Structure 1
């Protein structure tokens, strides 16, 4: 049964997305009393909140799924190469039902305070409704992209039309027909929404600050034989994926884009463009570290933009100025083609700064754009936003205070002075640079193994050594410093949030290196941690 006020449990999980669901199932299978507290009205996390038109995953469906249950991965059938939001949400609900998890998930429950009790060495959680729960372990499954970033635009509150944020899209159908639509922002969410909204809007004005690299999805229905082949080799394919940098089943085209001839390089890029998806990132191993190599990929996509977009001035505005992959690579169907439509207009905010919103328009530069509906595709306070919204107090101060100058953790799993508090895919782990399902499963497995170790050795508390944490952060920051990913203002650095310290938050060393480090911790009896 769902816990009531003043309940004591072995563990509380915050968040019922894919991380929280899997963690709950794992804890229950180990015999722990556990509950998930979820702010939303159903499971799914990202895929419950992000319901905007065109929302779909950019990781292929056959591998954007759990691998912990052979029966589950054999029985579930995906319909498309890249699944739409409703299908992903249905999958999450199916998992909850299949493993009988619903009675241990409490919805519409927002956690506001999490405090470490030094006397009984337990976490005390408090919800908005005043409910209090005590637990030995607290596991944060709040997600990396779950705290929407609402822009501070003068006059936005005066707008009398409809306003929607892609990260908090309503469940009802939003009508775009016969309306002048404004989309502010063109990251992954904006790009997906734009291609759909353009199909029915009378006029679509796209307000762009920074152009992004976009590769085609080439989405399609899955062939039955293809699905059968993958299912018969699932375990082998998943293990191979873990050996790749991003945890996706992408084969590298070679160590360096500069070590091959121009013809070979163009053939490789063309093949990956035609295949579609994020595999373009894996074309060559040095694209994120060698500026000259990176330039070859950037120029290839620039030429594609010029081939597709008919108006030269518009094409010029759509060509990114930063290095390829510096910001998250976007995947969409027909994005650049959308700008050939007569009802689509691109507003470059570098040339025409957004001044203010009135009751029925947006003023940018010297122009006024009459608007009926505004879509805010302005992204998220990534990695740390959801955690910092909760007052988490440890042995000596709050997590928000400790992370004021950037997140500090060991392996992205725990932070010194916050015993028994785990963060699934937290900052300092590969997380958003990988197939999230691969990273989620690895963290859940690691935490579960750790808890079993503690139980068998009769330990009640665990936290990382400060030295281990500092060494890990130095290592992580050093790797990021050698990468081209830090050369532009991206949400990886928190650059989209005013006042947020610029620190590259995910671990950039890749899945194999990271997994090896985590495995070494287990084999060394968790030498980087303090037990008592």
Structure 2
């Protein structure tokens, strides 16, 4: 790289020339870089973090763990890579998951082609040259043919939610920006804001550590108990023997998990339905949500019956009428929100040192130096505030980069009006820009992430290889192709109860965000088949020049 001195006397570095630049060093980014490098492209990866890991780098809060079974949350493109790593339990915690991703990076020698502690600030498409100019917070500039955003579907945390956060005299942080150093909550007054999947993991883990824990509760969540057995040599041998089966089946199920819907609701008697629900509930996984009865997503009567089954299980554990009112959902159906797994979470609220604070009708007004003040003036004095306040899902991470396509159009502004993609992997008006975990694909929410991210990165690699083999340099979906995919996506999504429920699945947690079901709801197997059909047909609807 050369440098030059401008008239103002400042030193600028000449752009580095690349075939492809990958943003993100998580599950998608690691595999994407590996594939493109194997195809002979000059490729570089960038990440804000100081090492690989993606979501498992950032989300190091107490209790963070898988809710996909460990043996399916893996890469399946290499049998040796799969079998040479051994998990300690069914649902491991963040430290073990981060070690696994380090194992992947070391085994594939990926770090040499990543630069860490580097944030992409802008990316501008040059129509005359058919290339992207990418800039970072470190003053670097890259000239690249392809730009691939592997930024994560839940990696844009909603940190500044309440007025006055900067005035708080204690410690305050979002769960996705948890400090690396160990925190001691002994004797501390701790407040947790939010009881989604993340908040639940934090609450059940630190309840016995904090001097006093206050949980600020707005929207109750359906929860399922987790069963998390340890793996010994027998369990390890059993799951590793299933490698070929998992490689074949996971991409073809509805959600990319090992299980799938087996029975239609109408085909079973009431007694058989109840027995089926009891059996699956006892499994201690997400199976009740993802493989009980598909009708819970579309039939209000079925949804209500299954929802009442889960409510019954929760009420039996809570007992206290006030806690039942606060923590058991009534106004939406089971599975239309993200369903958390938990371990003795509900029982936490029976502790004398845990207080459930309702903010449903008395919301948080502000953070003051002493703690949190509610709308009615009530002050909750705290030493630590933990914000489990969620993310700008699907679109947020890319929209926080100043991405400019044809004619200077802004992706942030375009998505601020209407969130659209083609197959969840490209956007009309942004040639040679690819993305994973983005809106209108299953990976935006409804998928075992490794299943979907492997499929998407492989499709992107195949598309780039096809383009180069043709001797072309630019690929972009047509407006008509994008319209067709959005129409199909919406028809599928709007037939579900998810579309009728306020949640981050439709962007309602972010003020002003256009409402659209973020995830493709037609199923992982169906989505994969449609992507393969496009590739096998020579990419109809994608203009290659």
TM-score, length of structure 1 as denominator length? 0.97
Report the Cα distance in structure 1 between the residues aligned to 2:251 and 2:163, rounded to whole angstroms. Answer: 46
- Contact kept? 2:159, 2:173, Cα under 8 Å: no
**The one of 330, 333, 347 aligned to 1:337:** 347
Report the Cα distance in structure 2 between the residues aligned to 1:177 and 1:190, rounded to whole angstroms. Answer: 19
> What residue is the counterpart of 1:392 in the other structure?
403
Report the Cα distance in structure 1 between the residues aligned to 2:159 and 2:515, rounded to whole angstroms. Answer: 19
User: Which segment drifts farther, 391-400 or 50-59?
Assistant: 391-400
> What residue is the counterpart of 1:90 in the other structure?
99
**The one of 430, 437, 452 aligned to 2:465:** 452
**The one of 490, 504, 512 aligned to 2:525:** 512
CA positional deviation for 1:156: 2.3
Task: Decide whether aligned partners of structure 1 residues 5 and 231 sit closer, same or farther in structure 2, where only a CA change above 3 A counts.
Answer: farther
> What residue is the counterpart of 2:165 in the other structure?
156
> What residue is the counterpart of 1:367 in the other structure?
378
Report the Cα distance in structure 2 between the residues aligned to 1:395 and 1:356, rounded to whole angstroms. Answer: 42
> What residue is the counterpart of 2:260 in the other structure?
251
User: Which segment drifts farther, 240-249 or 371-380?
Assistant: 240-249
> What residue is the counterpart of 1:522 in the other structure?
535
CA positional deviation for 1:151: 4.2
CA positional deviation for 1:80: 1.1
* CA deviation map 1:291-313 (0-9, x unaligned): 11011111011111111013121
> What residue is the counterpart of 2:217 in the other structure?
208
> What residue is the counterpart of 2:510 in the other structure?
497
1:404 aligns with 2:416: yes
- Contact kept? 1:352, 1:366, Cα under 8 Å: no
Q: Number of aligned pairs?
A: 529
Note the residue ranges of structure 2 that are not aligned, 5 or more in a row.
2-12
CA positional deviation for 1:319: 0.9
- Per the alignment, in what secondary structure is the counterpart of residue 433 of structure 1? coil
> What residue is the counterpart of 1:50 in the other structure?
59
CA positional deviation for 1:247: 0.7
Task: Decide whether aligned partners of structure 1 residues 93 and 351 sit closer, same or farther in structure 2, where only a CA change above 3 A counts.
Answer: same
Report the Cα distance in structure 2 between the residues aligned to 1:215 and 1:146, rounded to whole angstroms. Answer: 24
> What residue is the counterpart of 1:418 in the other structure?
430
- Contact kept? 1:50, 1:85, Cα under 8 Å: yes
1:14 aligns with 2:23: yes
- Contact kept? 2:252, 2:528, Cα under 8 Å: no
Report the Cα distance in structure 1 between the residues aligned to 2:538 and 2:109, rounded to whole angstroms. Answer: 33
- Per the alignment, in what secondary structure is the counterpart of residue 323 of structure 1? coil
* CA deviation map 1:140-165 (0-9, x unaligned): 10010001002432332221111121
- Per the alignment, in what secondary structure is the counterpart of residue 144 of structure 2? strand
> What residue is the counterpart of 1:128 in the other structure?
137
- Per the alignment, in what secondary structure is the counterpart of residue 403 of structure 1? helix
Runs of 4+ in 1 over 3 A off after TM superposition: none
Report the Cα distance in structure 2 between the residues aligned to 1:102 and 1:296, rounded to whole angstroms. Answer: 50
CA positional deviation for 1:253: 4.1
CA positional deviation for 1:5: 4.9
Note the residue ranges of structure 1 that are not aligned, 5 or more in a row.
none
Report the Cα distance in structure 1 between the residues aligned to 2:404 and 2:353, rounded to whole angstroms. Answer: 52
**The one of 308, 315, 330 aligned to 2:324:** 315
CA positional deviation for 1:406: 2.6
TM-score, length of structure 2 as denominator length? 0.95
Report the Cα distance in structure 2 between the residues aligned to 1:358 and 1:114, rounded to whole angstroms. Answer: 38
- Contact kept? 1:253, 1:268, Cα under 8 Å: no
Report the Cα distance in structure 1 between the residues aligned to 2:413 and 2:261, rounded to whole angstroms. Answer: 41
> What residue is the counterpart of 1:223 in the other structure?
232
User: Which segment drifts farther, 204-213 or 360-369?
Assistant: 360-369
CA positional deviation for 1:324: 0.9
> What residue is the counterpart of 1:266 in the other structure?
274
- Contact kept? 1:219, 1:333, Cα under 8 Å: no
- Contact kept? 1:323, 1:487, Cα under 8 Å: no
